[in-house]
Structure 1
Amino acid sequence: METTTLQAEVRADRGKGPVRRLRAQGKLPGVFYGPGLEPTPLTLSPKELEKALRGKRGRNAVFKLTVDGKDELAMVRDVTTDPVTQQLLHVDLYRVFEDKELEIEVPFHAVGRAVGVVQGGILNLTRRHLPVRATPAKIPVSIDVDVTHLDMRDSLAVEDVEFPEGVECPLNPKLTLVIVLEPRMPTADEEAAAAEEAAAAVEGAVAPEGEAATEGAAPSEPEAGGDKPGS
């Protein structure tokens, strides 16, 4: 199983003050926990973790965590980042075992352009991630499903997905994951309302007859026989 090594140290100081000082020194606070292990506060390099997370497995990568000279297998359970700077603020590392299954979510992708979409339909994915159960070495990078054969109103359920060997999905086998929806047609009321709006827009754009702009127009001549100004 391919792993990336992360070096970490056990930290004795806890609380907001010590944690802020660690970050000011360019270090990343974290915690390591899991089966048979008391939560252990750690300090590690944020650059090393960022580099490890840029791999093809992303946050589903398995690390060889070296803590004070002792090696453990670990996965990232949670990462806290600054919402503005995206700086890593804290990491939770979870203890795993090479021969024990664990449940984790992986990205779910639809591959190809469905026949129904070509005909004007809309491809809808009910989930963007799928929970899977597998040993660390068999956790897939993602679950990809071919949708090119799907016609209008066709769908795929969990039971239709071919999962890699050694990988199971705990969801209901009948749960719909992908469906091609027909394009929604406007109702009669919606069409009538749209027509009224269009007609109102046209009327507002054309000035009524006899209401030509008068501002700045020359005064009209007095009728014959009428009084002249100043008479």
Structure 2
Amino acid sequence: MKTFQLSGTPREDLGKKAAKAIRKESQIPAVLYGSSPVELPYTGKLSSGDKLVELDHGKGLIVTDFTITFDSIRKLVYSPEIFLVELDLKGNKKVKAIVKEIQFHPVSDAILHVDFLEVFDDKPIVIEVPVQLEGHSEGVKAGGKLGLEMRKLKVKALSSAVPEQLVINIDHLGLGKTVQVGELHFEGLELMNAKNAVVCGVKLTRAARGAATTPGK
């Protein structure tokens, strides 16, 4: 997985009014969620922009509010690739993270808010990875039409084990056949999608049906 360098500025003014003012300055509000709950009461020191959110069962989560610019995140958001973000919160702290969620304006599609999840080298993450088909399907050679039903698959793995793409060979995929999630295996990865979900398949076309029913074929 490729890395993406991103800088942010911690902020302490929260709420809808503050977020609206930030957007008017061409900034985007963002949040970093610590990927591991901490024990309560928390005895560590919180940095600027950090707050402690109480969870259940004596646990808490450190959440950092900050801002980023559109130019700094544009290539991260509008890309088919996935990235491990190296996030520098300007003197506050440097962490590794992945994009958890992006909120867009329903009309203009402008980026309203970005959520990040902190990543640790020894703890697995859940992330969607693009699917890449390779090879020449037997079913397509026979006149069928190849369809990719799932462009990304959700995987659970250590960040160091997450590939840029999940490559699936389709050389032996025949007419009317499909590849389901349960048939796939990638070293070091756990696929989180339903096992019976169809990733890709070769559909019968009229031409293929005609060739199959033509005498002498």
TM-score, length-scaled by structure 1: 0.66
Q: 1:136 to 1:12 in 2, by over 3 A?
A: same
CA displacement at 1:16 relative to structure 2: 2.1
Residue type of the alignment partner of 1:157: Q
The answer for the alignment partner of 1:67 in structure 2 is 89
Out of 181, 188, 195, the residue aligned to residue 158 of structure 1 is: 181
The one-character-per-residue Cα deviations of 1:159-212 (angstroms, maximum 9, x if unpaired) are 54352x322223465654333232369xxxxxxxxxxxxxxxxxxxxxxxxxxx
- Please state whether the residue corresponding to 1:12 is helix, strand or coil: coil
Query: Aligned pair count?
Result: 182
- Whole-angstrom CA distance in 2 between matches of 1:2 and 1:119: 38
The unaligned stretches of length 5 or more in structure 1 are 186-231
More strand, by proportion: 2
- Whole-angstrom CA distance in 1 between matches of 2:33 and 2:176: 46
CA displacement at 1:120 relative to structure 2: 2.4
- Whole-angstrom CA distance in 2 between matches of 1:149 and 1:114: 6
CA displacement at 1:56 relative to structure 2: 7.1
The answer for the alignment partner of 2:205 in structure 1 is 183
The answer for the alignment partner of 1:122 in structure 2 is 145
Out of 60, 75, 78, the residue aligned to residue 101 of structure 2 is: 78
**Greater length-normalized contact order (CA 8 Å, ≥ 6 residues apart):** 2
- Pick which of 139-148 and 87-96 moved more: 139-148
The unaligned stretches of length 5 or more in structure 2 are 38-60, 208-217
- Whole-angstrom CA distance in 1 between matches of 2:112 and 2:197: 37
Q: Does 1:47 align with 2:71?
A: yes
The answer for the alignment partner of 1:170 in structure 2 is 192
The one-character-per-residue Cα deviations of 1:96-148 (angstroms, maximum 9, x if unpaired) are 11121112111223334422123222334442321111111221222121213
CA displacement at 1:22 relative to structure 2: 0.8
- Please state whether the residue corresponding to 1:3 is helix, strand or coil: strand
Contact residue 2 and residue 164 of structure 2 kept, 8 A: no
Contact residue 80 and residue 130 of structure 2 kept, 8 A: no
CA displacement at 1:83 relative to structure 2: 4.6
CA RMSD in angstroms, aligned pairs only = 2.7
More helix, by proportion: 1
TM-score, length-scaled by structure 2: 0.70
